[in-house]
Amino acid sequence: MNAPVASLPLLHVADLSLEFRTRSGTVFALENIAFSLNKGEMLGIVGESGSGKSVLAYSMLGISDGAARVTAGTAMFGGADLLKASEHELREIRGREVSMIFQSPRTALNPIRKVGHQIEDVLKRHAAVRGVDLRERAIDCLKRVRIPDPARRYDAYPFELSGGMCQRILIALALACQPSLLIADEPTTGLDVTTQAAIMELLSSLAAEQNMASILITHDLALAAQYCDRIAVMHAGHLIECGPAEEVLNAPHHPYTRRLIASTPHTAPSIAAMSPIPGNLPDLRRSDLPPCRYAGRCERFEAACNAAPLPEFAITPHHTVRCWNAE
């Protein structure tokens, strides 16, 4: 069956701004974020810690901290605006249409509930499965994420499982209702490289099987490049570059992206060749943040950078960059 309108993306985020109102000031955590995601596509979001990757993901699901306020923007998903949806509507979407998996899988599971039951909770909620079928369906879910001996694992508690195994459970939980979008927030941080490889393989093969779109949030540019179709780079609440993975990796246009790539050990031929990014992320609580938040760290900074709001240049139809001095 063909998609009714091929050009319509699965998720289209436009102009998203979000702030946290805290006692110590307002944190302008996201500003003018725009990206879209097609069916079956995997988008990688990379950036330094604190650049707003998680906040962005949470805002999609409406599970942001209570202090968060979406001040502008839309996130159209299957005809509904996720940002304006009521809590009730969102609850129907979460876990059924859009799912999420998290970093540190061990703590992301309820430590005192059998993993089987945790999957059942989701099934009961969304798939309206009842009774004996429930257990079967849950074991099915475990089987799908290639857990050896799923019937036995059904009765296990998270503490009895290894980290990689917990992450599989978490994936099973997220995919239990076959959502059309999966957001993975650093799903392999803290896991061994070998386990990381296994989890990523699993994720990409499952996504392919179900034609599911996914967002992979990670620190690891190399990882994102290996698995994602497109990569979005974030810095201090701005999405500064977004494009096909190879293009972004091999021909970055934003100076930040450039630096980020250069500081990744993977790509650097030697230590001396690594070029760290100078300075720190700006304090997002300042109300007089410059239009370009990278301005303070940028080697190509000019007075013009502070003059007007950031423009968005399309390098190619699918590759956009937000910088005055983009090459």
Partner 1 sequence: MNTPLLRVERLVKHFKVGRNAMLHAVDDISLDIAPGESVGLVGESGCGKSTLSRVLARLIDADSGHIHFHDGAQESDLAASPAARFARHAQRGVVQMVFQDANDSLNPRYLAQDTIAEPLRLLVGMKDAAAIKARVEELAGWVGLPTELLGRYPHQLSGGQKARVGIARALASSPRLLILDEPTAALDVSVQATVLQLLADLKARLGLSYLFVSHDLNVVRLLCDRVVVMYLGKVVEQGPAQEVFAHPHHPYTQMLVAAIPDPHRKGQPAQIMQGEARSPINPDPRACRFHGRCPHGEPRCELHTVSLREVAPQHLAACHLLED
Partner 2 sequence: MKMILKRLLLALPNLIGVIIVTFVLTRALPGDPAAYFAGAAATPEAVEQVRVKLGLDRPLPEQFLHYVVDLAHGDWGSSLATGQKVTTEIAARLPASLELTLCGLLLAVSIALPLGVLAATRPNSWADHGVRVLTTMGVSLPTFFTGLLLVYIFYYKLGWAASPNGRLDAFVTSPPTVTGFYLIDSLLIGDLAVFWATLKQLILPTVTMALFVLAPLARMTRASMLGVLSSDFVRTARASGLTPGTVLYTYALRNALLPVLTTMGMVFSFLLGSNVLVEKVFAWPGIGSFAIESLVASDYAPVQGFVLSMALLYVVLNLLIDLAYTWLDPRVSLDG
Ligand X SMILES: Nc1ncnc2c1ncn2[C@@H]1O[C@H](COP(=O)(O)OP(=O)(O)OP(=O)(O)O)[C@@H](O)[C@H]1O
Residues of this chain that bind partner 2 (CB under 8 A): 61, 63, 90-96, 99-100, 102, 104, 107-113, 121-122, 125-126, 157, 159, 170, 173-174
- Sheet containing 11-22: order of strands: 25-37, 11-22, 68-77, 80-81
Residue from the set 3, 25, 63, 67 that interacts with ligand X by CB under 6 A: 67
- Exposed / middle / buried, residue 303 (Cβ in 10 Å: 0-12, 13-18, 19+): exposed
- Closest separation in Å from C-beta 233 to ligand X: 11
Q: Which amino acid is at 229?
A: D
CB nearer to ligand X: pick between 36 and 54: 54
* Binding partner at 52 among partner 2, ligand X, partner 1, none, C-beta below 5 to 8 Å by kind: ligand X
Residue 226 interacts, among ligand X, partner 1, partner 2, none and using kind-specific CB cut-offs from 5 to 8 Å, with: partner 1
Which residue spans within the chain are E strands per DSSP? 11-22, 25-37, 42-47, 68-77, 80-81, 98-101, 181-185, 213-218, 230-235, 238-244, 313-316, 319-321
**Binding segment toward partner 1, per CB under 8 A, in 56-64, 88-96, 270-278, 303-311:** 270-278
Number of residues lying near ligand X (CB under 6 A): 15
Cα-only R_g, the chain: 20
- Is 218 a binding residue for Mg ion by CB under 5 A? The answer is no
Q: Which of residues 25-44 bind ligand X (CB under 6 A)?
A: 27, 29
Of residues 27 through 86, those in contact with partner 1 by CB under 8 A are 48-49
Per the rule left: phi > 0, alpha: psi between -120 and 50, beta: everything else, 40 is left
62: amino acid identity, one letter = G
Six-digit token string for 238: 């701005």
**Letter for the amino acid at 89?**
E
162 near partner 1, judged by CB under 8 A: yes
Q: Which of 65, 81, 133, 155 binds ligand X (CB under 6 A)?
A: 65
Task: Copy the structure tokens of residue 316.
Answer: 């190619």
> Among Mg ion, ligand X, partner 2, none, what binds residue 122 when CB lies within 5 to 8 Å by partner kind?
partner 2
Counting beta carbons within 10 angstroms of the beta carbon of residue 65, is it exposed (0 to 12), middle (13 to 18) or buried (19 or more)? exposed
Residue 306 interacts with partner 1 (CB under 8 A)? Answer: no
Cα maximum dimension of the chain: 68
177/248 with CB nearer partner 2: 177
54 lies in the site for Mg ion, by CB under 5 A: yes
Token pair 């993306």: residue: 9
State which of residues 65, 136, 192, 283 lies at the interface with partner 1 (CB under 8 A).
192
Q: Phi and psi at residue 50, in whole multiples of 5°?
A: 90, 5
> Should residue 148 be labelled a site residue for partner 1 when binding is judged by CB under 8 A?
yes
Min dist CB 80 to partner 1, Å, is 33
Min separation Cβ 180 and partner 2, Å: 14
For tokens 């940028």, what's the residue? 298
- Among the listed ranges 23-31, 49-57, 242-250, 295-303, the one in contact with Mg ion (CB under 5 A) is 49-57
Size of the site for Mg ion (CB under 5 A): 1
| Residue 94 within binding range of partner 1, rule CB under 8 A | no
**Structure-block tokens of residue 119:** 């999957």
Residue 309 gets which letter from DSSP? P
Burial classification of residue 66, based on how many CB atoms lie within 10 Å of its CB (0-12 exposed, 13-18 middle, 19 or more buried): exposed
Q: For helices 163-175 and 115-122, what crossing angle results, to 10°?
A: 20
Cβ nearer to partner 1, comparing 212 with 225 = 225
Name the residue with tokens 């979407």: 93
**CA-to-CA distance for 230 and 145, rounded, in angstroms?**
24
Cβ 29 to partner 2 shortest distance, Å: 17
Q: Which residues bind partner 1 (CB under 8 A)?
A: 48-49, 148, 162-163, 191-198, 200-201, 205, 219-223, 225-227, 245-246, 249, 259-260, 262-266, 268, 270-272, 274-277, 280
